[in-house]
Structure 1
Amino acid sequence: MWRWYFSLLENSQRYGIAWWIQKLLLVFSLFYQAGIRLRLLGYRWGVLNIYRVPIKVVSVGNLTAGGTGKTPFVEWLAKALQKFLPSDYICLLSRGYKQLDSGVNDEYLLLQQNLPSIAHFTGKDRVALAKTAYEQGYRLAILDDGFQHIRLQRDLNILLLDATNPFGYGKCLPAGLLREPMYAIQRADVVILTRVELCPPTSLAQLEETVLTYKALPIFWLKFSLRRCYELFRGTAYTLDSLPPLFAFCAIGNPRSFLLLLEHYQITPLGCQIYPDHHIYSQKDLDKLIQQAQRAGAKGLLTTQKDAVKIQFLRSSFPVYVFELEADLVKGEETFQSILRSLCSSDR
């Protein structure tokens, strides 16, 4: 279903039922954009309130519906901020969308695993979370997925654009993947192009030019590289050339990026199963994946770390290999560090 939907977004149809569905999605997209415009006008005219809290707020978000590599960048950002502030002054704020039975979601589990020393507050009311964090002694909050959360005033507004699909097929949901029109770039203080390792420099230069037509602002490049590959239930590390034939699966906002990553590392899975973003896996899901993999002739499953934190509590004698990524600024890191240093040293 999800592969069919993404195929529908990628390929313009001229006939058949797919053409009619695309036209219907465009109609829904127009209503969606109208709602977005009304909401933005509400904040501009003061009908909706923007709250400023004592704690400094760094927002990290994107224009498209997930899949920009936001979570590994938040990890990188939290570690970068620790050069200028103690870790017990820094915290994370997030919505906690699609929580597991434990009361937290996949992003929380992933960040908790990779950032054990950073406190993480989750809830619908990010303004209340920020106030609570300040009362508990924290002085800087990273607002995860905060670009559209205008209700909370921020000191630095970071916009991530996935270089492999920066503008979500150029249309707003559901006809495309844009959460809001491209002119929203004007609200950003800095733009970071992610997954630059998957794009030629000429494409990145063109993307920079497009961004600068909306606003003159600093643009940085972020790449993702493989930190390690390991088997989930045994913890054993593997080199890429020692991996058996694999069947891939994921439940992330931009599944195409996962397939491009595999291609980048010259891994060709025998099949791939795509689930909706933040899908909560059941034992039945995992058992079905194992059956699919075995029918395809695979000797193991391969997935992302974000998916792995949700299936680590399930049972499997069939190997599940995990790609764990790390982020690295490859263009403008010194300038970006200077921005963070100024933010941390300034008074509210």
Structure 2
Amino acid sequence: MRPDLSKPPSFPMVLLEQLYKIGNRSFHGLYDLGIRKAKRLPVPVWSVGNLLAGGTGKTPTTLALCQALVDSGKRPVILTRGYRSKISQAVLLGGMHGTTEALAGVYGDEPVLLSRQLPTVPVVIGKDRYHQATQFLEGGGRADVFVLDDGLQHRGLARDRNIVLLPASRPFGNGHQLPAGLLRESPKQILRATHVLVGGGSEENARQALEVLRDHHPQADWRFVYPGLERVERFASGKPSETEAGGSQTLDLKKARVHAVCGIANPNRFRELLEGADATVTNFAVYPDHHAFEEAEVRKEESAAKASGAVLVTTGKDAVRLERLVNGDAPWY
């Protein structure tokens, strides 16, 4: 359960936090003192990660980074742990057979989303990223850059660029580490970053936060990112609703009535994007992170959207788990 940052953490949570801190300091200390050393691959490694648990935009950043590399003629390969994957190792390519939801049940929703969005980019799944990358190369795989997804805390693999994401609002949460707060490690670990991206909220808030946060690590390349959202794409068939312009495959969110559905770590960020696009959010249905949707839940949301004359909009990660169930009359974006 995500901690309520508006309230002080309970005493039991603070006690558990102290145990977590001890383990965290011991883990990082072994690398900081050189007792344990990170292994280096023969190919550059760029890591995308965060200090907070969930919801800072790691997956969209990984997607955008890899797409930029592909556009520049490079061959990126994604290394990911494969959260909730049922297999210990795999290499995914965009031409996979099977429904998106079925694949997500085996490999995890994030690897499948990355593979579907980047069909020419291999997605290598495995807990030991160094071992998996080495096997990929020894098996004849080619890479110009390995992109380490959610890699800040993965100290075992040396990296050439350490990209860290921070939200403009509460960049360090409530200042507490797990489970009393959202910090996965001490804010001082921001010093390991080579690049820091500050985003979320309004563009003005991101700029203001950037000016304050830059003092924490002046040597890093600090930038603000404002992922504005204007249009969304249809991912499931259905009869065109009256709120669509001729049943287009894309929907302009400006002034659109939206029934939002999500099961992600930070739903507020999704809502901010919709409202920032000047959409009218008639209902905002929140499910647990990585929720396995059931048909009854989907039909319920479709009925509610129809009753309010709204269009159903979800996130890319949720679409992976919803694809098989969305087969009614209502289009989903």
TM range, smaller chain:
0.7 to 0.9
Which of 93, 102, 107 is equivalent to 1:104? 107
**Letter of the aligned partner of 2:189 in structure 1?**
A
Q: Is the 8 A contact 2:263 2:286 kept in 1?
A: yes
Tell me the percent identity. Answer: 34
- What does residue 152 of structure 2 align with? 147
1:262 and 2:274 are equivalent in the alignment: yes
Within 5 A, what are the aligned runs for 1:121-270? 121-135=124-138, 136-195=141-200, 198-200=202-204, 204-226=207-229, 228-234=231-237, 236-241=249-254, 243=256, 245-270=257-282
Tell me, in whole angstroms, the C-alpha distance in 1 between the residues paired with 2:118 and 2:59: 11
| Partner SS, residue 226 of structure 2 | strand
User: How many angstroms apart in 2 are the aligned matches of 1:109 and 1:242?
Assistant: 32
Tell me if structure 1 keeps the 8 A contact 2:199–2:226: yes
Q: Which residue identity is paired with 2:16?
A: F
Cα root mean square deviation, aligned: 2.5
More helix by share: 1
The alpha-carbon deviation at position 311 of structure 1 amounts to 0.7
Structure 2 residue 77 is matched with structure 1 residue 91? yes
Structure 1 residue 221: Cα displacement: 1.8
Match of 1:36 in 2: 24
TM alignment of 1:245-324, pairs within 5 A = 245-290=257-302, 293=305, 297=308, 299-322=310-333
5+ residue gaps, structure 2, are: 86-100, 238-247
The runs of at least 4 consecutive aligned structure 1 residues that moved more than 4 Å come to: 291-294
CA drift of 1:144 comes to 0.5
Q: Unpaired segments of 5 or more residues in structure 1?
A: 13-20, 323-348
In structure 2, how many angstroms separate the alpha carbons of the residues matched to 1:225 and 1:120? Answer: 27
The superposition leaves residues 216-257 of structure 1 with CA deviations (integer Å, 9 ceiling, x where unpaired) of 2211122213363233322732222574x4332212221111
Q: Helix, strand or coil: the match of 1:256?
A: helix
CA drift of 1:128 comes to 1.0
Change (3 A) 1:250 1:93: same
Distance 1:206 1:112, change over 3 A: closer
Q: Is the 8 A contact 2:253 2:278 kept in 1?
A: no
Q: What pairs with 1:6-21 in structure 2 (closer than 5 Å)? A: 6=3, 8-12=4-8
Q: Which amino acid aligns with 2:330?
A: P
Do the aligned residues in 2 keep the contact of 1:186 with 1:215 (CA within 8 Å)? Answer: no
Matched residues, number: 304
**1:10 alignment partner AA:** S
